[in-house]
Amino acid sequence: MGVSKARLADDLKTAFKGGDRLKTSVLRLLSALIKNREIEKRGELDDAEIIQAIIASCKIRKEAIEQYTKGGRDDLAAKEEAELKILESYLPPPLSPEELRTKIEDALVAAQASSLKDMGKVMALLMPEISGRADGKVASQMVKDALSRR
């Protein structure tokens, strides 16, 4: 099921009425981020762009967790982890390694890739397919490995 602004708004309303302060806070911040991105774009965000906003929010939480853990602030790290779980519930399910390999092979064929020079073409085809479902760095390395074997 895709994420949409309507779903986020409904979930925010439900969390607010249910007294879930953490979820209310997280969804308000996410809604504000989406609204700011729409202002920058001067138009509505599509589902893929909303997912990118969620991914950006997740990345911020992961970095904060790391910093709080290093600083011995486990209480703050736990709060960030709880927020991260809420945000991740709006992302599509992650691709299995086999699914990722299949998508990479499909992109290699579609781009008619034969060497590392074709890396950009392959990644341009692949990233929209895996956005929010796989780590771009891992996929990039897998593409690089596949191209070096060709």
Closest CA to 27 of 46, 6, 41, 49: 6
* % of the chain exceeding 70 in pLDDT: 99
Judge if 62 and 115 occupy the same domain.
no
- Answer yes or no: do 9 and 39 share one domain: yes
101 and 84 both lie in a single domain: no
Rounded to an integer, what distance in angstroms lies between the CA atom of residue 113 and that of residue 76?
Answer: 46
- Radius of gyration of the chain measured on its C-alpha atoms: 18
**Is the model's pLDDT at 34 over the cut of 60?**
yes
What single-letter amino acid sits at 74? Answer: D
- Output the domain CATH number for residue 117: 1.10.10.410
Clarify whether residues 17 and 84 are in a common domain.
yes
**Whats the size of the chain, residue-wise?**
150
Whole-number pLDDT of residue 47 = 84
Query: 78 and 43: one domain?
Result: yes
108-150 tens-digit pLDDT:
999 999 999 999 999 999 998 898 788 889 999 999 999 998 7
Contact assessment for residue 113 and residue 150, using Cβ atoms and an 8 Å cutoff: yes
pTM: 0.76
Q: What's the mean per-residue pLDDT of the chain?
A: 93
Last residue of a domain, one of 88, 105, 139: 88
**Dihedral sign, CA of 92, 97, 100, 106?**
negative
Both 12 and 84 in one domain: the answer is yes
Domain with 128, as residue range(s), is 97-148
- Residue labelled with tokens 């008619």: 112
Looking at the structure of the chain, the number of domains it has is 2
| CATH number of the domain to which 69 belongs | 1.10.1510.10
Same domain, 73 and 128: no
Both 36 and 102 in a single domain?
no
My answer on whether 58 and 124 are in the same domain is no
CA distance readout (Å), 92 to 87, 95, 106, 119 = 11, 9, 20, 25
Q: Are residues 25 and 79 in the same domain?
A: yes
| Residue the block writes with tokens 């085809």 | 125
At 53 the pLDDT is: 93
Contact 80, 88 (CB under 8 A): no
Confidence class of residue 1 from pLDDT cuts 50, 70 and 90? very low
Instruction: For residues 58-74, give the mean pLDDT.
Output: 96
Whether 80 and 12 share a structural domain: yes
Examine the pLDDT at 71 and tell me if it is beyond 90: yes
State whether 110 and 82 are in the same domain: no
